[in-house]
Amino acid sequence: MLLDPRTKLLILSITSISVFLNESIVIECLFTAIPVFLLLQARELRTASKYGILFIVLLTVQLLVILKLPVTLGGIIYMFDVYIRKLIPCFMLGTFLIRTTKVSAFLAALSRLQLPKGFTIALSVTLRYFPTMAEEWNYIKDAMALRGLSASFAGFLRQPIKIMEYVYVPMLVSASRISDEITQAAITRGIDHAGRRSCLEKVCFSIWDALMVIIYIGIICMMTFDFLRGGIFP
């Protein structure tokens, strides 16, 4: 199931706004289940499992654990629990967009929307930036392992000064270097060309795009109905 990059951006935008306006756990589960399905369909089994398990754990904490805690402690945990849980669908859709969309197809899709060129360039550079930073992070972890250091949270607690020296400093330097390299590569390929761009990528809406938009419209209608009726969904 191949989705148009514009559809991916649309459902990401809808989810980013709606999850924070929604108060129903049922609708929240729908917002989470769809990105899990999309990641599984894209063969991102590890990512889908990681986010899906995290969502279930956080939901279990809210429904079973928080009620048994003191009011003050339970309120603090509830705040962080709900906030993190609402971000999970956004992270999953962002990961789905980055890992399943080529920059050329992304540019071709955005050019159809007649968006400002500066906005288009910024989004395209960002789309290529995160995978490159992920590769750089793996290199840093391998270099730290050779020095007997762990990049995990436990390793940070054991040796915070060394972790900051061997992780944050290289990451900041790499981030600056990578952003310059990606920008230069994009300019070399003519991303700032003022005329009409040609593209070999075929970008068009399909039946899957229409189905996905209809599903999200249905969820928005459920959320609106739930709000107007005073919370008929749990």
Q: Which residue has the tokens 């390929």?
A: 189
CB 203 within 8 A of CB 1: no
User: What is the amino acid identity at position 100?
Assistant: T
Torsion of CA 150, 153, 156, 158, to 10 degrees: -90
Find all residues with CB under 8 Å of 36, minimum gap 6, and list them.
48, 51, 52, 92
The span from the CA of 92 to the CA of 82, in Å, is 16
pLDDT in tens, the chain (234 residues): 678 888 998 999 999 998 888 888 888 999 999 999 999 998 889 999 999 999 999 999 888 888 888 888 888 888 888 899 999 999 999 889 888 888 777 777 777 777 777 777 777 777 777 777 777 778 877 877 777 777 666 776 777 777 777 777 777 777 777 777 777 776 676 666 666 666 666 777 889 889 999 999 999 998 888 877 776 667
pLDDT at 211: 92
Q: From residue 83, how far is each of 2, 26, 75, 94 by CA, in Å?
A: 31, 16, 12, 17
Find all residues with CB under 8 Å of 197, minimum gap 6, and list them.
107, 111, 190
Nearest Cα to Cα of residue 167 among 183, 147, 194: 147
Torsion of CA 170, 174, 176, 182, to 10 degrees: 180
Domain ranges within the chain, ordered by starting residue: 5-101+204-229, 115-189
User: What is the amino acid identity at position 119?
Assistant: F
pTM above 0.85, yes or no: no
Any long-range contacts for 136-144 (C-beta under 8 Å, 24+ apart)?
136/171, 136/174, 136/178, 137/171, 140/166, 140/167, 140/170, 140/171, 140/174, 143/170
pLDDT at 99: 85
| N-term to C-term CA, the chain | 32
